[in-house]
Amino acid sequence: MAEEIAVRSGAFLGGRAREAGPGIGARLRKLATLARQNPLGTLGLIIIVVFVLVAIFAPWIAPYDPKAFSGQRDEGISASHIFGTERLGRDIFSRVVYGSRISLSVAVISVLIGGSIGICFGIISGYMGGIIDSIIQRTVDAAIAFPALLLLLIITQALGPSFKTIVFALMLAVIPGVTRVVRGAVLSEKNNQYVEAARATGAWAPRVLFRHILPNVVALGIIVMTTLLGTIILAEAALSFLGLGIPGATSWGQDVSKSREFLPYNVNAAVFPGGAITLTVLGFNLLGDAIRDIFDPRLRGSR
Amino acid sequence: MQAFIIRRLLIGVVILFILSITVFLLLRIVPGDPAKQKCGLNCKAEQIEAIRHDMGLDKPYFPIDVESGPPFVSFTSDSQYGSWLGGIFTGDLGTSTVNNRPVTESIRNRFPVTAELMVLTLILTVIIGIPFGIVSAVWKNSLADYAVRLIAIAGLAVPGFWVATLALILPFEWWGYAPPIGKFVKLTADPVGNFKQMIVPAAVLALGSAAGVMRLTRSSLLETLRQDYMRTARAKGLHERSVVFRHGMKNSLIPVVTVLGLQISGLLGGALIVEQIFTLPGLGDYTVRALFQKDFEVVQTMTLYAGVTVVALNLLVDISYAWLDPRIRYS
């Protein structure tokens, strides 16, 4: 059985891949070198992995139900509440742990969907050219020129805040940036000699597109998507800070907002959820920079 | 150059047209009837109809309508979109439900606040971002360079609303000091008191943009310092300081100018939040209030207003780009 799968996947990958594939040991060594060369990127990856694990295993990590009144109101830091409690006596640590679920899931889903749409638009725009290109590019101009936060606020308020509408709004915010970069990449690939050569041999247009242009361009699109994850987490947090987050959800932005509503201010309730946002965004930014540097040295230091 | 400006102006108009239609339609898909909302509970059908007529909601959306038979399109002189745009050009924007005052008056009163906030923020961005970026590039891989890079990375990751909240909470917790919020002091009435109110929000906004400018100044200057003409300047025996400032700065600051222009839209977005937290009566605060009170007419107008600002400033940036760098010739 196992042999059959191996043979099949071998056939799928093509004979060459099987012969040339390095052993697991060699691959790990390569990975270790890569990590040593990019200490900041590695740090970013570690931060993200930790937050992803926290989000997945939240029920086992959080000592209390994030919505239960597990202590007195505005308690300080103690052994039973390591981050203290917020205004209603709920455990801040548990709320920070559960808050990671919303932040990460909303950001990852909207970047995946929006990024894929952006890649499609970018390819269409760059490959087709002409009037379609102009329409897409002017729309992208309009979207980029505009304060994204205002558009997000309008969309979520118009549709009513919920998981779906917030993902939809953030997805729209991702599309223009990805479209722009991918279009540029398609244009430069189109002028490469190998594409011309493929065309000259009479290759069918979609075949040129899928075999030659797509692989190079999609990689770039994915890099841009990684660098956007941090920005999208910030945007989601800002939405929930302004009260347009997912209703009833435990979210970092909303908790920061609640901390300053009444006197006396609750410092712990502001510091810890906000710190969690910063750390997550930092992780994604560091990883995004490192990935970009590794895969596309031309873009190095561009941010 | 002239042809370039005209082309850019036309593109700007197209962009604003797309934006106005998008926002107009977006706010028309809101569930619920604004007229019914305004009328309140136990309201008769005729009353709702009267209010609908007063608010102009019984008019068609657009002045153009597509028909199935020839001549296929029909035009109406009176439409919701038409009267909105007409109002913008004539300066009659109706009355807002936010404060029951004419929208034009509110914009006139609130504009100076946001404009001052933006100018202060840009000044802080430049005086923080550029010098630190230069230090970081000139002493590459030194302790100072690492410190600047670390601060820049952190500055881009920190949410503005969190810094603003901490700027409000922590001084109060530590020293019992509350930043002067609540009653706004006008610049013309009391410049010092006004500055005290504006400087903290401006600094919060400048944090993110200064971080971006720092990183860009660093990479741009590093790029310039590698150029051949820099080596020539050094070989001529020029003092290192004049090499960096006379030859390096001039060429490396051009991209920084563009980025400053691009940051405007982000800063306007930031003003939405910061004006809320520090209770500054600016345009951002007005927009957020209108949004939450579902006064969509005002939201529509403010959105277009922000769009016009951004498009106009970016055009200015592009022109200054050509002026700063004679190598660039627009065709």
Residue with tokens 């994604």: A284
User: Quick one: what percent of chain B has pLDDT higher than 70?
Assistant: 85
Q: Which of B109, B280, B117 is nearest to B184 (CA)?
A: B280
Beta bridge partners of A98: none
Please compute the mean of the pLDDT values over residues B297-320 and round it to a whole number: 83
Interatomic CA distance for residues A86 and A93, integer angstroms: 10
Assess whether pLDDT exceeds 70 at residue A105: yes
* Contact across the interface for A242 and B288, Cβ inside 8 Å: yes
User: Quick one: what percent of chain B has pLDDT higher than 90?
Assistant: 4
Q: Residue A49's pLDDT band (boundaries 50, 70, 90)?
A: very high
Assess whether pLDDT exceeds 70 at residue B165: yes
Residue with tokens 């799928």: A12
| Residue B285 burial class via C-beta count within 10 angstroms: exposed 0-12, middle 13-18, buried 19 and up | buried
Region of residue A84 (left: phi > 0; alpha: psi -120 to 50; beta: else): left
Each residue's pLDDT tens digit, A159-203: 888 889 999 999 998 999 889 888 888 887 777 777 777 777 776
Q: Residue B31's pLDDT band (boundaries 50, 70, 90)?
A: low
Q: Residue A111's pLDDT band (boundaries 50, 70, 90)?
A: very high
Q: Which of B14, B169, B287 minimises the CB distance to A259?
A: B169
Residues on chain A touching B30 (C-beta within 8 angstroms):
158-159
> Burial code of A33-45, b = ≥16 C-beta within 10 A, e = fewer?
eeeeebebbbbbb
Residues on chain A touching B27 (C-beta within 8 angstroms):
154, 158
User: For the whole model, what pTM was predicted?
Assistant: 0.82
ipTM higher than the 0.90 cut: no
| Residue B312 burial class via C-beta count within 10 angstroms: exposed 0-12, middle 13-18, buried 19 and up | middle
What does residue A165 show for φ and ψ, rounded to 5 degrees? Answer: -70, -35
Q: What was the pLDDT predicted at B34?
A: 64
Q: Terminal CA-to-CA distance of chain A, rounded, Å?
A: 50
Q: Residue B55's pLDDT band (boundaries 50, 70, 90)?
A: low
- Which range has the worst mean pLDDT, A207-221, B62-76, B210-224? B62-76
The two tokens of residue B79 are 């439409």
Each residue's pLDDT tens digit, B68-125: 666 766 666 677 788 788 777 777 777 776 677 788 888 888 888 899 999 999 999 9
Interatomic CA distance for residues B286 and B166, integer angstroms: 23
Contacts of B252-255 with C-beta under 8 Å, sequence gap 24+, read B252/B217, B252/B220, B252/B221, B252/B223, B252/B224, B253/B130, B253/B217, B253/B220, B253/B324, B254/B220, B254/B321, B254/B324, B254/B325, B255/B216, B255/B220
| B window 256-315, beta carbon within 8 A of A | 265-266, 268-270, 272-273, 276-277, 287-288, 291-292, 294, 296, 299, 302-303, 306-307, 310-311, 314
Each residue's pLDDT tens digit, A122-153: 888 888 778 888 888 888 887 877 788 888 88
- The answer to whether A84 and A77 have CB atoms below 8 angstroms apart is yes
Each residue's pLDDT tens digit, B224-264: 877 777 778 778 877 777 777 777 777 777 777 777 877 88
